[in-house]
Structure 1
Amino acid sequence: MPISAAMSFLVILTVALTTFATRVVPFLIFPKGKEIPAVIQYLGKVLTPAVIGMLVVYCLKATPVMKAPHGLPEAIAVAVTAGLHVWKRNNLLSIGAGTILYMVLIQAVF
């Protein structure tokens, strides 16, 4: 379903304003010098690992372990990703290398 240029502009504007608002609102709620509540500090510490864990489970939930290659490409890619992250502490490097390795494994090896 094609949409007009005006409608496209409105969609882009809405997305841009919403994205901007999500970036600005925390600075309005917690201005510089104001104490950040303990619950917000706690969520800041635990939410990132929880979301990453949830994404890992989501990505691996359909891994076929009962038929060949028995989840071997996934296991290798996850191990390399985790190893690189522990070694280098670089999210972009570990996720990028793990993704590229997984693609090479499923396209050329298995």
Structure 2
Amino acid sequence: MSNETLYLVSFILVTAVATFLTRLMPFAFLGKHSNHPLAQHLGRYLPAGIMAVLVAIFLPRAAHWQTPVFGLDALLPAALVIVLHLWRRNALLSMLAGTICYMAIQQGVINLV
């Protein structure tokens, strides 16, 4: 195995372990505090806050406002996220559907022109 391959494999391994540990730590250290009012507040309002940031800040900045469809590439996924969340009240479904719609538009699967 060459030095470059060894470096890449070790880099991927260290990154994977670090990612796993950062995902595990909140559950390991805060698991017994799940009934704490702050944890319940964050669990209730954080998904909607994240969606608001994505819809209100990220999507309008990523839109192509000079095209003939005037930002529809960002407004369509944003509307989908809002409608799905108001209809089903499922943050995961809303974010997943909005992300899939946005990526389909960006990759050219959905043609808006």
Q: CA deviation at 1:65?
A: 4.9
Contact 1:63 1:71 in 2 (8 A): yes
**What TM-score do the two structures reach when normalised by structure 2?**
0.61
1:52 Cα deviation after fit: 1.9
Aligned length: 104
Report the CA distance between 1:74 and its aligned residue. 3.5
The equivalences for 1:2-41 within 5 A come to 4-31=4-31, 34-36=32-34, 37-41=36-40
Contact 2:81 2:98 in 1 (8 A): yes
Cα distance in 1 between the residues matched to 2:23 and 2:61: 32
Q: Is 1:100 aligned with 2:104? A: yes
Q: Structure 2: give runs of 5+ residues left out of the alignment.
A: none
Once superposed, what is the RMSD of the aligned Cα atoms? 3.2
Distance 2:24 2:109 in 1: 41
- The alpha-carbon deviation at position 78 of structure 1 amounts to 3.1
How far apart, CA to CA, are the structure 2 residues paired with 1:5 and 1:98? 35
The structural deviation recorded for 1:79 is 2.8
TM-score by length of 1: 0.62
SS of alignment partner, residue 26 of structure 2: helix
In structure 1, C-alpha distance between the alignment counterparts of 2:67 and 2:112, rounded to whole Å: 16
Q: What CA distance in whole angstroms lies between the structure 2 residues aligned with 1:30 and 1:66?
A: 47
Q: CA deviation at 1:104?
A: 5.0
CA contact (8 A) 1:77 1:99 kept: no
